[in-house]
Amino acid sequence: MSDIRQILDMNAFDASKGTTGKVQRRLDNLGAASVLFYRQPIEMISAQGAWMQAADGTRYLDFYNNVPSVGHSHPEVVRPISEQIARLNTNTRYLVGVVDEYLEALKARLPEPLSNVMLTCSGSEANDLALRVAFAATGARGVIVTQTAYHGNTALVTDVSPSAMKRGAPPDWVETVPAPGSAAYGDDIAGGFAQAVTEAMARLTARGHGVAALLVDSIFSSDGVFADPPGFLRAAAKAVQAAGGLLIADEVQPGFGRTGGGFWGFERHGVAPDIVTMGKPMGNGFPMAGMAARPAHLQSFCAETGYFNTFGGNPVAAAAGLAVLRVIEAEGLQHNAARIGAQLMQGLQTIAKGSERVGQLRGAGLFLGVDLIRDGAPDPAFTTQVIDAMRASGVLIGAAGRYGATLKLRPPLCLDAAEAAQFLDAFERAVSG
């Protein structure tokens, strides 16, 4: 079996071999924390729609980036951001109309009980706050996450992000469960996952932590993308909520229409999260994120701790967020995610039938995972080879999963049928080459 891979190591430039020029300049500036994609890093200069333009003139079809979700440099997002920053940008301690206008538009997309939203600057901050709210609201500390979860980079959130750990294991108050796929649970994914979560709750309770939360990325992206069967989260969520724990849906990856069937990934499973966190696509590149919770839960936290976020919820972020919601609606992007996602899935199925190296296909809308295998086992080396071959064909794509052998497809939601066909063509050549 392959080695377990750390999320940031996947498709990363290997600095240990030494380098020169612009890459060395970057390493000198960022030091050990520097992460660059590809063995030969790419210098980018501009991007539009689903395309990125490199300094050497190469155009790349972007199948990696879940941030510029309505399309790179979308003019209907760029314009309101520019206008707002030219007019006023300040913190949430003043009343500024666009902030409340945005929060109301966002809340119209959320389950009604989650009527308080704190805006932050990153998904990590949103998850950090969500955990602290869960601790305060439940009086418990125990948290359950999936085995290859990634929820962000603060000290607290790193503790619940096993895929970021290079050494050691999560702390005593964290329990991990295998991702909800057939490899771990066979044919009964819902039942198996609920059973694993129930056993994890028992271990947390036995160690005196109790159950504060089940924290899941509802498309399980770093675990390798798990979407089916719809509803598989329900039994696990019910067990946690019955025990007094909260369900935190991390929508940083699947939120904002990407999964096609719903605006949020959790809708696919018919669950009612107690807290929803969001980020990445929320501002189409403008850094913003948020946490939505029930007022009573937020009150429990605020009774213990003051919370203020200098940049969170600033008027420019609100203008960006509002523009993103408008563009998703006006351009029918959620529907497009479902339609083009189905085209991609169909094409992948055809390719998989003719290739021994393509394993399971999973996902929803424009969030798909493709296992690459050799003799039925995950093949991370082949995955890297395919990623490089795709790059040579002008397509950017990344990997995920416990062994780094799942291709993660996450193009902008504005992807059209011709671009999807172009991807499929490049993929077919890469896996047969």
Binding test (CB under 6 A) with ligand PLP, winner from 60, 64, 150, 403: 150
Binding test (CB under 6 A) with ligand PLP, winner from 69, 122, 334, 406: 122
Residue 6: which of 164, 140, 220, 145 has the closest Cα? 164
Residue 258 or 357 with smaller CB distance to ligand PLP: 258
Binding test (CB under 6 A) with ligand PLP, winner from 62, 128, 250, 274: 250
Residue 52: which of 397, 418, 429, 432 has the closest Cα? 397
Give the nearest distance from C-beta 217 to ligand PLP in angstroms: 4
Stretch that binds ligand PLP, among 32-40, 50-58, 247-255, 262-270 (CB under 6 A): 247-255
Q: Is 406 in the site for ligand PLP (CB under 6 A)?
A: no
Instruction: Report the DSSP pairing between strands 51-54 and 59-62.
Output: antiparallel
Stretch that binds ligand PLP, among 21-29, 122-130, 347-355, 385-393 (CB under 6 A): 122-130
Q: Is 217 in the site for ligand PLP (CB under 6 A)?
A: yes
Q: Is 121 helix (H, G, I), strand (E, B) or coil?
A: coil
Give the nearest distance from C-beta 126 to ligand PLP in angstroms: 7
Residues 321, 285, 95, 305, Cα dihedral to 10°:
100
Residue 74 or 151 with smaller CB distance to ligand PLP: 151
Q: Is 340 in the site for ligand PLP (CB under 6 A)?
A: no
Q: Is 223 in the site for ligand PLP (CB under 6 A)?
A: no
Binding test (CB under 6 A) with ligand PLP, winner from 71, 111, 142, 152: 152
Question: Cα(190)–Cα(197) distance, rounded to whole angstroms?
Answer: 11
Give the nearest distance from C-beta 67 to ligand PLP in angstroms: 9
Residue 50: which of 414, 427, 425, 417 has the closest Cα? 414
Tokens of residue 91, six digits: 């913190």
Instruction: Report the DSSP pairing between strands 213-217 and 406-409.
Output: unpaired
Contact yes or no for 317/88 (Cβ under 8 A): no
Residue ranges of E strands in 66-224: 116-120, 143-146, 174-177, 213-217
Neighbours of 431 (CB within 10 A): 22
Residue 116 or 148 with smaller CB distance to ligand PLP: 148
Stretch that binds ligand PLP, among 147-155, 311-319, 360-368, 416-424 (CB under 6 A): 147-155
Cα-Cα end-to-end distance for the chain: 24
Alpha-carbon 402 to chain mean position: 15
Convert residues 272-301 into a mask of x (bound to ligand PLP by CB under 6 A) and - (unbound).
-------x---------x------------
- Closest chain position to ligand PLP (CB): 123
Question: Cα(54)–Cα(47) distance, rounded to whole angstroms?
Answer: 9
Residue 160 or 414 with smaller CB distance to ligand PLP: 160
Alpha-carbon 146 to chain mean position: 14
Alpha-carbon 342 to chain mean position: 20
Q: Is 253 in the site for ligand PLP (CB under 6 A)?
A: yes
Give the nearest distance from C-beta 213 to ligand PLP in angstroms: 14
Q: Is 151 in the site for ligand PLP (CB under 6 A)?
A: yes
Residue 215 or 430 with smaller CB distance to ligand PLP: 215
**b/e for 354-377, b at 16 or more Cβ within 10 A?**
eeebbbbbbbbbbbbbbbbbeeee
Question: Cα(377)–Cα(262) distance, rounded to whole angstroms?
Answer: 33
Convert residues 356-385 into a mask of x (bound to ligand PLP by CB under 6 A) and - (unbound).
------------------------------
Q: Is 138 in the site for ligand PLP (CB under 6 A)?
A: no
Give the nearest distance from C-beta 128 to ligand PLP in angstroms: 9
Neighbours of 24 (CB within 10 A): 12
Residue 92 or 253 with smaller CB distance to ligand PLP: 253
Neighbours of 88 (CB within 10 A): 12
Can you give the binding site for ligand PLP, defined by CB under 6 A? Answer: 122-124, 127, 150-153, 217, 221, 250, 252-253, 279, 289
